[in-house]
Structure 1
Amino acid sequence: MLGLISTTPGPDSANILQAALPIGLGLASTAYLAMRMMRRNETLGEKSIPCAAIRTGDATHDAEYREDPDRFLSTCQKRYGPVFNCSILNQRLTVVSGPMVREVFMSQHFSFMDAIDDITGLRAFTTSVIKSNQHPDSRVVHEIVRDLVTPNLPLFTPLIVERVRSTLESRLGVCDHKLVENPQPIFADMIAGAMATVFMGSEIAQNRTVLDSFIYCTYDFGRAIGPEAREWTWGRLYSRIKYGMWNPLQKHVQVLVQAATPVVLERRRQAAEASEQGLAYKAPLDILQMLLDNFDQYGLVDLEDICGHLLLLVLASVHTSSDASTCLNYYLAAFPEHMEMLYQEQTEVLNQVAKEREQQRQKELQLGTVRSVRDFEGTELDPRNDRELSATVLKRLTRMDTFIREMMRFRCERLSLEHKARQDVVLSNGMVIPKGSKAIINMASVHQNAEVQGEDPTEFQPWRFIGKAKTATKVSSEFLPFGIGRHSCPGRFLAIQELKTVGALMVSQYSKIQFQDPSKKMQALLSAVGAPMPTGLVFTSRVTRVASD
């Protein structure tokens, strides 16, 4: 500014100088403060996050992402680095990639639930069905799974196997080239039945109304947090108003309460009767009974509250597990050359476990612990259970385990798992994600990364993890479907046990699973969670009926 003033003052030069000096001083002060701020940021290592350019003709990045997610994310990562902003999914999101992903999961200042609630108003949907533990950071459901479900999984496994097997026999059965245009309801029924048995007990699990609630409550849940809610700017406010007053989950809670009340009363009567006779009451093995026995530990107030928490367990497990079970069968159909290997592994494991059990029985007989083989009936060493899919057998199905892990790696949504910053978060590269912003994980940067996954990460290789101590339940920075750290999914052990059960029964009872329309193979394999499959499946049993009905 001063350089524009004449060096030979004229009549108005004093006024001009008088006016120019404040402006110059103001600019100088601004420049000085900006320099101080830049130096401060450099001292703190803070950097601004680059914004990905929007393609000409587009208003957001959505269309470009949907056309080819892998190419879009790879191009952005190469151009802008591991952290960049983009306008996608009706939001402005910070995409976090590669080695920076772990920092989002491990930081206590990021919240996955805050992000989902911010998008969909989820908390209004879920907290309205429970009377206690409504704090946003409550971990009671997490603790119930950790304390009661996972430690008892070996005991629950026979119940799960029996329920899945019986549902498979009744819904699909023995068949020869049988077309099922929409197999998802079959596998939803399997998982709902298994979960009803574990959560509510075998008596209540026979109630068709309860099973339907287990299935359909997840559909109501899906409508509340699905794509429509995410794409609508006012979705959260709408959800809070609607579900705070007319929550469809309420009717499902009442179904559970009505089914549970007579069962609980009968159990109490049996417990009182045993006590009068000086006998120990043998409590049923299910989470309902465990919560009744430990209600004060989790701050539960009554049976309705317990059923509300059980419904939250259902929402967290039935939909995702039934979806994954359905998808598993599409992968078995897509790679038929691996079906026989999985079947052979199962046969070998069953033979080995049966041999070990017989050796244990002979040892017991030699020691005189029992007098005859008949004494093993009804015990853990009952010969009739030698070839059952026990927890021991399922644990040894390493090929099935790695097949499932590879399926989850290969299929995983490329952008997923939003986390909202509760305060300004400075990443290790100096970039700052401001309070209130949402980070989303670039899953492709991990799951399709050759340095992390090995060669040909864009190919499905079912034995990729054989011999690498990388089970499907093991969370790490290399495998993200269940999260990482303190907030990793506590139900993953149950989910994988269910998937291995479904997979083991399918390969043992069916020699072929084929696509109705083979041209839809890749579309099916990369389907989003909850999306309808583009084609049906054709099933052929290993043993067909000897005689017609």
Structure 2
Amino acid sequence: MDLSFETIPAFVWVFITIYVIYWINNPRVNKNEPPMVPYKFPIIGHTLDYFFNAENFLAECRQKYGDPFNIYVLGQVNTIAGNEIAQEVYNTDVFNLPSAMQDIFPLHLVLKSHNPETIGQVIKTVREGITANLPLYTGRMQKQIMISINKEIGNCSNPKLIITTNENFAGIIARPLADILVGQEISKKEDVVKAFADFTKDFLSIVAIPPILSFIHPKVHIQFIALLLIFGWSPIGKHVTTLKKHLRPVLEKRLEDKKILDDKYEPPLDIIEYLMDSPEYETKVITDDYLNKICEFLFIIVVVSIHTTSSHITCALYEFAGRPELWDDIYEEQVRIDKECNGELSSQLINKMVKLDSFVRESLRNTIPVAASPHRCLETYTLKNGMTIPKGRVVQTYIMDIHYNTTTYGPEPRTFLPYHGLENNLSASKTDKNYFIFGSGRHACPGRFFAVNEIKVGLHKLILNYHIKTPSGKTEKKVQIGPFAFPPVSGLIFENRKK
């Protein structure tokens, strides 16, 4: 190839640009920090290993450098905290999850009211409005789940292979949540249920944009997404519009009823009523701004619940379908409870599903990413082992190191232990230092009790009504994309049980 005089400046500028990016991103690790894992390629660092070989890469790093250690991914240093350190991170207010999540899950760009204050209100709402009322929601939950099962799976007098299992279960999970969030009237609207089911999936199309610009700085990638949204690309705007259309007349009627009936007004049991009674959302007129605020708040709850819960119940079904040695034992428990309640579950009877609960816990233990749940260090912090985490550092939770530790789960921790929870008096919703699916400590997921109940009720109804198996007759491998795990895609075979 001939180089003309004119091409030389172009090569010079390319070299200067690469050098500047490298200089900006060159990781500066202090002596007292966790050890930095060496890497071969400037700028790229460990990015390729992390996204294409996460499980083996982090296991090798853990064995060689201990817990914690530092890696260099997408232009920034990340500290990886495993079984020994993660608990300290979760129990210290210096480490903040929402701050770190904004860089990879920029919900604040599409839901403008998403901020630390709103997140605090969401947590309070879930605890007081949902968890505290679980017994009152149980009957409605199972009714809505059965409507969805009949719609999504239906009659299987002949064996039926359902390929899009995870998408189907997003709809099954969305319906009871819609009932609780926006009430029994609005949750009958199929377009609202679909909006709830599809919201997170469509938002993930934003998250799926390759973060190439993060090699310069994570904020550059976020600004790029912001520009796309400013110029009209919004895959989730239609869902907000759908909810607003149905929500306005219901809220207006409730305000009018309160005014007319006064003390005789009987408040419906749902989250929109809870919000209207709270000081932050109290109003005398339903304006567009108020409606936007309520809708965005509800979709924050949707985005942190439906996708994860539907993935968990899908993975649990695959585990059940691929383990015929468990079928009779778990089925017999469901039959016994069904006879006891005559088809109408109560919270007390859901709590009696001890074998199913233990099975769900074990499925959740194995439905894990290699690493996830980033926390940003808000102030320089010295760990109990003497290592220092600098201000601004993102600490990733090495979940596989926690869930597969040999001290708790034996010499072969990847073995599926269906009754480990039952034998050790550990429920599926109970967090501890060896089980981080719902976080840990003071910052554990407040919606985990509802999520586990929803999963158990869904499995209970499905196992009672269908024989469920995998096409291969064995357990199917989960789909691994980078450090993240997703349900298998081979499909499940459903066949009506003989009554």
SS of the aligned residue for 1:522 comes to coil
CA distance in 1 between partners of 2:213 and 2:161 (Å)? 36
- C-alpha displacement of 1:162: 0.4
In the other structure, the counterpart of 1:324 is 312
- C-alpha displacement of 1:114: 1.2
CA distance in 2 between partners of 1:327 and 1:91 (Å)? 33
Counterpart of 1:542 in structure 2: which amino acid? Answer: R
In the other structure, the counterpart of 2:139 is 158
Write the mapping of 1:30-179 to structure 2, written as runs, cut at 5 A: 47-54=32-39, 60-65=45-50, 69-88=54-73, 91-126=76-111, 128=112, 130=113, 134-135=115-116, 138-175=119-156, 176-179=158-161
CA distance in 2 between partners of 1:191 and 1:231 (Å)? 35
Q: Which has the larger radius of gyration?
A: 1
CA distance in 1 between partners of 2:174 and 2:136 (Å)? 18
Of 150, 162, 180, the residue aligned with 2:162 is: 180
**Greater displacement, 485-494 / 52-61:** 52-61
CA distance in 2 between partners of 1:65 and 1:254 (Å)? 38
Q: Say if 2:226 is the partner of 1:240.
A: yes
Counterpart of 1:252 in structure 2: which amino acid? Answer: H
Q: Say if 2:304 is the partner of 1:282.
A: no
Counterpart of 1:390 in structure 2: which amino acid? Answer: S
Write the mapping of 1:507-522 to structure 2, written as runs, cut at 5 A: 507-511=463-467, 513-517=468-472, 521-522=476-477
Instruction: Give CA-to-partner distance per residue, 1:208-232, whole Å, 9 cap, x none.
Output: 2211211222122212334734885
In the other structure, the counterpart of 1:258 is 245
In the other structure, the counterpart of 1:417 is 373
- C-alpha displacement of 1:400: 1.2
Write the mapping of 1:492-507 to structure 2, written as runs, cut at 5 A: 492-507=448-463
| Structure 1 vs Structure 2 CA RMSD | 3.0
Instruction: Give CA-to-partner distance per residue, 1:78-131, whole Å, 9 cap, x none.
Output: 2111111113466421111222111111121111111111345442233x1x3x
SS of the aligned residue for 1:154 comes to helix
Counterpart of 1:156 in structure 2: which amino acid? Answer: Y
CA distance in 2 between partners of 1:527 and 1:229 (Å)? 13
CA distance in 1 between partners of 2:208 and 2:71 (Å)? 21
CA distance in 1 between partners of 2:493 and 2:75 (Å)? 39
Of 374, 392, 404, the residue aligned with 1:448 is: 404
Q: Say if 2:454 is the partner of 1:470.
A: no
Counterpart of 1:72 in structure 2: which amino acid? Answer: F
Instruction: Give CA-to-partner distance per residue, 1:251-305, whole Å, 9 cap, x none.
Output: 4333222101222233344445545xxx722222211112122244789983332
- Indicate if the aligned counterparts of 1:327 and 1:525 stay in contact, CA closer than 8 A: no
- Indicate if the aligned counterparts of 1:121 and 1:235 stay in contact, CA closer than 8 A: no
SS of the aligned residue for 2:421 comes to coil
Counterpart of 2:267 in structure 1: which amino acid? Answer: A
Counterpart of 1:292 in structure 2: which amino acid? Answer: M
**Greater displacement, 525-534 / 141-150:** 525-534
Counterpart of 2:423 in structure 1: which amino acid? Answer: G
Go from structure 1 to structure 2 and tell me whether the alpha carbon gap of 1:536 and 1:138 turns closer, same or farther (over 3 Å shift).
closer
Instruction: Give CA-to-partner distance per residue, 1:375-433, whole Å, 9 cap, x none.
Output: xxxxxxxxxxx431222211111111111111111121111111111121111111111
In the other structure, the counterpart of 1:224 is 206
Instruction: Give CA-to-partner distance per residue, 1:163-189, whole Å, 9 cap, x none.
Output: 111111122122121111212232111
In the other structure, the counterpart of 1:540 is 495
TM-score where L is the length of structure 1: 0.76
Go from structure 1 to structure 2 and tell me whether the alpha carbon gap of 1:65 and 1:239 turns closer, same or farther (over 3 Å shift).
closer
SS of the aligned residue for 2:93 comes to coil
**Greater displacement, 423-432 / 247-256:** 247-256
CA distance in 2 between partners of 1:108 and 1:394 (Å)? 34
**Greater displacement, 141-150 / 113-122:** 113-122
Counterpart of 1:442 in structure 2: which amino acid? Answer: Y
TM-score where L is the length of structure 2: 0.84
**Greater displacement, 305-314 / 143-152:** 305-314
In the other structure, the counterpart of 1:387 is 343
Go from structure 1 to structure 2 and tell me whether the alpha carbon gap of 1:535 and 1:163 turns closer, same or farther (over 3 Å shift).
same
Aligned length: 460
CA distance in 1 between partners of 2:109 and 2:384 (Å)? 35
Instruction: Give CA-to-partner distance per residue, 1:194-246, whole Å, 9 cap, x none.
Output: 11111011110111221121122212221233473488543212223334664
Go from structure 1 to structure 2 and tell me whether the alpha carbon gap of 1:120 and 1:348 turns closer, same or farther (over 3 Å shift).
closer
Instruction: Give CA-to-partner distance per residue, 1:116-162, whole Å, 9 cap, x none.
Output: 11345442233x1x3xx744685111111111111011111111110
Q: Say if 2:311 is the partner of 1:311.
A: no
- Indicate if the aligned counterparts of 1:520 and 1:535 stay in contact, CA closer than 8 A: no
CA distance in 2 between partners of 1:495 and 1:421 (Å)? 29
CA distance in 2 between partners of 1:332 and 1:264 (Å)? 42
Gaps of 5+ in 2: 1-29
In the other structure, the counterpart of 1:209 is 191
CA distance in 1 between partners of 2:485 and 2:64 (Å)? 33
- Indicate if the aligned counterparts of 1:209 and 1:255 stay in contact, CA closer than 8 A: yes
- Indicate if the aligned counterparts of 1:342 and 1:400 stay in contact, CA closer than 8 A: yes
Q: Percent identity?
A: 27
